Structure 1
Amino acid sequence: MPARNILVINCGSSSIKFALVREGRDDFILHGLAERLGANGASLRWQGETDEQPQTLELPGADHKAALARLLPLVAQAAQGKLHAIGHRVVHGGERFTQASRLTDEVLSAIRETSPLAPLHNPANLVGIDAAMALYPDLPHIAVFDTAFHQSLPERAYRYAIPEPLYREQHVRRYGFHGTSHRYVSHKAAEMSGLAVGDSYWLSAHLGNGSSTCAIANGQSRDTSMGLTPLEGLMMGTRSGDVDPNLHSHLARTLGWSLEKIDHMLNHDSGLLGLSGLSNDMRTLEHAREQGHANAALAIEVFCYRLAKSLASLTCALPRLDGIIFTGGIGENSALVRNLTVKHLHVLNLELDGEANARCVRGVGGPIHLAGHPRVLVIPTNEEKQIALDTLAVLD
């Protein structure tokens, strides 16, 4: 049976990240990004396996459907006309979806019903799904849910200490996100370490503009930092992470702020951006820190301390620890963040090899721990490949 070609689509509110994955291959046949959609600066950037440099096409004012209409012919050409399915990233699947699912009217309706739990993500995912299904109505379309991996959490980990009817009737509970990434890197960590996936225990830190940690036992998520929505847990690029639950009423009472204004502040004006007053980009903050910017240094320190606290707390979910994994844009590229975080975890006897840590940037992964100390690994995530694998599993 010839290798199948899967197009993976990850839609944001103003972007489409895509990759053409051929069964049995680690590299992409084609990959790229359409960004700033809906604005005059909209553009499409892509690179095929034979291209030495990325190619760019300006798409002024293009929306998601227009961008897909321009990129899909590139996909068809790269796949030589043989595209077998499209795998879509969907952030929130609620309690209903424990694995990838073929997109039917019923599944689409369920994703829409779950949108209030991920208002920044699910509607954007649906825009891409609707556009792709309109352009390729005869292809199988598969939804791969970020939350599905975390459906193995025990009840003690996913329940909030709130009245029972809110869970039973409103489904208010912890769901967790970044499941596709945590699943992928934990499998890679076991492979790198010569351990069986079914007999290995990891702490995973997916760090980017959105960040989360996860305790993984024998290939299953046992606890994670994000909760009902992607706002809970770690400090992130523009998200606050954990705050006092009474902050809402305090700001409403003292400043007269509306729920909408508080929600926007916690999701868009907080985190690295809020503390530094400068940027949500870790590279910018690291440079500013070197130049003596006090608030940039504070933002990085708070980020790393809260990350270390989260990792330490998640050890409660594991009978033993085989290693810690750093992944995501910050986790894969910031030697400073890894170093500062591990320094806070001295109780776990962690120690980094400075040269190995400095070497792991720009796609280079591997072990960064000092010999004789517990494993610390940098593993570049590959959510697109995992989505393709899950899509193939549904086709099979």
Structure 2
Amino acid sequence: MGKEINLNSGIEIGIYTFGELLCDPYTGQLISAKQRLNEIIEAAKLADDAGLDVFGIGEHHRLDFAVSSPHIILAAIAQNTSQIKLISATTVLSTVDPVRLFEDFATLDIVSNGRSEIVAGRGAFLESFPLFGYNLDDYDRLFSENIELLLKLNENERITWKGHFRSELKGVDIAPRPIQQRIPIWIGVGGSQESAERTGRLGEGLMLAVLGGDPIQFKPLVEAYRYAGLKAGHNSKKLKVAIGAHGYISKTSQKAKEEFYAYYTNYFKSFMKNGGQLKISQTDFEQMAGPNNSLFVGSPQEIIEKILRQHELFGHQRFLAQIDIGGLPFKKVAKNIELLATKVAPVVRRETKKGC
């Protein structure tokens, strides 16, 4: 088994990034991919030094993103950190060879001394399908076959396997083996109940993106996941839930909203609506950041209250915030890491500690 989440210490708190490259909406400055990657590595080091639990990096294959190979950046981070868990967020499993993926993260596990994890998903963008020679008509079949193979690779040093989309494996060694007996694997899910149920049947962790609206709308997905997992015979302790969200923290609620509005709308316009020109008004933004919605923007106390409200809904074991979006300058990212680690995480861990 991989390293278990210690429920006696409360839920894990961490951050993740997609490494997008966007102009700062105030200055118009666009940093280079090199600077963006350097800042990602530095952010991970700050998060580790501050005591956060998890750092994740997503995968994209576009010029407006700096990261196409998360495991390489995570390996660089491993050499600059000592405790923080290192995860993909997410790996586009439909268009990657599961053998290569497992070996990459097993190697990361070794160089990080047992800190690697995989979040496998189908991705919000589709550019990897033509790039790597896959047919979009096989979208679901590719994911189903690849997750099946990945889980087998995680359990066995030698494997015999036959599928449809890759060459047959006949008693081959899968090397290297990770330090952990089993690399923790999570499956990334958006709003699909079918995906949540499949994740439960597989008995893997559920990584749920809760990016907008009242979080209560996602509760049926978590319930479906746990029900399917228990029905399939999995121990309830194995059925872990992680929540991912957009966030920004400042000294006061109003200051946070004033500082983040332009960056969030910049990100939203560029990616959330597939490049559309939808404009979010200040009033809309205030509502999206309200106490009953899923955008984590506010004072440390407001962020604490939102995480705890979601914990009442989902009973999740991990919360991850994406805090570097929309061209946000690194100085503000660093300040958010500090506030999340020193003002938010200790309270959330205490309040969610098992037995409280």
Q: TM-score, normalised by structure 2?
A: 0.30
> Which of structures 1 and 2 has the larger relative contact order (alpha carbons within 8 angstroms, sep 6+)?
2
The structure number with the bigger radius of gyration is 1
